[in-house]
Structure 1
Amino acid sequence: MKVISWNLWHRGGAVLAHLSALIEAERPDLLLMQEAKPNLAELTDVVGGHFHFLALPKRVYGLGAWTPHDIPAPDFVELPGSRLPGRVPPRLAQLLTVKGIGFANVHLSHGQLLNRRQVRTAAERLDGPAAIIGDYNAVGEIRLTGFHDAGPRMRTHKFRTRLDRCLARDIECLSATVLDRGPSDHHPIRLEFKPKP
């Protein structure tokens, strides 16, 4: 099973043409997007499949997922937020099940304690084989009971940091690669999974 995750960068980053070209070239089973906009629903007119969008509160963008497969209606979970004055609106995780694997599509906060709490909250909503994939905005190692770091160990952002990650449970990662960045400030990451026997 091939999964790609990409923070599109809503300020003039990847658009419909870039995503359709990526889908045509890679043929993923699931494409997860952060900083996606609702107009990307037009992907289905170009490449077929199914597009699922989750708007984020008080933002012009949200979380998107494209898949060629018929899947159950996605769900979401609200992630812990900051209690500081002037805090950003709450973040959400998009929850999907594709080929028997549960996925959480995430765009986590920059606070390093907060984003660890957000990962744990997403994990609590996933049963069985699962992966939490997306823009973690995290520095350093992330430990989560039952999960292992399955993402590529290379930089995924133009500032030479590894922000885009994958924590997986009960699935084997056959490969993890960073793709060309294109017009976004993030590189897409490509992962190939198979369930553990």
Structure 2
Amino acid sequence: MRIISWNLLRLEGAAVQDVAGLLERERPDLLLMQEVTQHMDTLPALVSGHYHRLPWPGRIHGLAAWSRHHFATPQVLPLPASPLPGRLPRRRAQLVKLGEITFANVHLSHGQLLNRRQLLRIASALRGTPAAIIGDYNAVGPSLIPGFSDVGPREATHFGGDVVPFRLDRCLAHCLTCTFAGTLEFGPSDHKPIVLDLQVAEARVRHRAMQRMRRRLAGIRAAFR
């Protein structure tokens, strides 16, 4: 399954026509977007598919997902927030399930301790099922979560002040295998889109096959009792 994640840069960055062009060129199974405004709601009229936008309270932008495949209404996962006075509204993750895989679309806080707490909250909600946490982490340095592997591209995806390179756009995967990870050109945004090919890990596939076999054998034994 091919996934693209792109921070669109609110009103100043990628317009709906830019996103439609990317979908037509790259043909992903799933596109996860951050800093999305209501203007993106016309995307399904340009590119056939399924779309859901999650606004953030008190902001003009939020998260959105598009897929060529049907998906149920995404779940919303509130994330830890700063206890300081005057803090920004609480951030939320958008949980999209396609087939067996749950994708958490994220735009995490800038605080380095806080965004690690947010990652831990998401990981605890997804653990035990094939899942990926994808989006703008706003993280500097490694993000180490037990049971999750950093499978995203290793190159910079954003340049602070157009000078300092940062790898802000990432993917942590659980019970998944990544067969490709790369980036695309910036386009009108200040973030590069990241591209990932993900599939359920072979060990988990074998485990499910063994479980099915055990259930069949149990049914056969029960029939002869």
TM range (shorter): over 0.9
Compute the TM-score of the two structures, normalised by the length of structure 1: 0.98
* Secondary structure at 2:105 match in 1: strand
* Secondary structure at 1:180 match in 2: coil
Q: How many residues align?
A: 197
Q: Residues of 1 paired with 2:125 and 2:23: CA distance?
A: 28
Match of 1:75 in 2: 75
Residue 186 in 1 paired to residue 186 in 2? no
With 20-29 and 156-165 compared, the bigger mean Cα shift is at 156-165
Cα deviation, residue 11, structure 1: 3.7
| Greater radius of gyration (CA) | 2
Cα deviation, residue 171, structure 1: 0.6
More helix by share: 2
Cα deviation, residue 29, structure 1: 0.6
What letter corresponds to residue 138 of structure 2 in structure 1? N
Cα deviation, residue 145, structure 1: 1.0
Match of 2:125 in 1: 125
Match of 1:161 in 2: 166
What letter corresponds to residue 175 of structure 2 in structure 1? D
Match of 2:91 in 1: 91
Q: Residues of 1 paired with 2:11 and 2:50: CA distance?
A: 24
* Secondary structure at 2:166 match in 1: coil
What letter corresponds to residue 92 of structure 1 in structure 2? R
Match of 2:218 in 1: none
Please provide the CA RMSD for this pair: 0.9
Cα deviation, residue 87, structure 1: 1.0
Which consecutive residues of structure 1, in runs of 5 or more, have no partner in the other structure? none
Q: Residues of 2 paired with 1:183 and 1:21: CA distance?
A: 12
Q: Residues of 2 paired with 1:69 and 1:135: CA distance?
A: 23
Match of 1:26 in 2: 26
What letter corresponds to residue 191 of structure 1 in structure 2? L
Cα deviation, residue 57, structure 1: 1.3
Match of 2:15 in 1: 15
Q: Residues of 2 paired with 1:70 and 1:163: CA distance?
A: 29
Q: Residues of 2 paired with 1:99 and 1:36: CA distance?
A: 25
Residue 110 in 1 paired to residue 106 in 2? no
Q: Is the 8 A contact 2:11 2:37 kept in 1?
A: no
Q: Residues of 2 paired with 1:94 and 1:125: CA distance?
A: 12
Q: Residues of 1 paired with 2:50 and 2:124: CA distance?
A: 26
Which consecutive residues of structure 2, in runs of 5 or more, have no partner in the other structure? 203-225
Cα deviation, residue 95, structure 1: 0.5
Cα deviation, residue 165, structure 1: 0.4
* Secondary structure at 2:97 match in 1: strand
Q: Residues of 1 paired with 2:73 and 2:11: CA distance?
A: 29
Residue 143 in 1 paired to residue 148 in 2? no
Moved over 2 A (4+): none
Compute the TM-score of the two structures, normalised by the length of structure 2: 0.86
- Identity, in percent, stands at 52
* Cα deviation 1:14-62 (Å, max 9, x = unaligned): 0111100000001101000000012312111111101101011100001
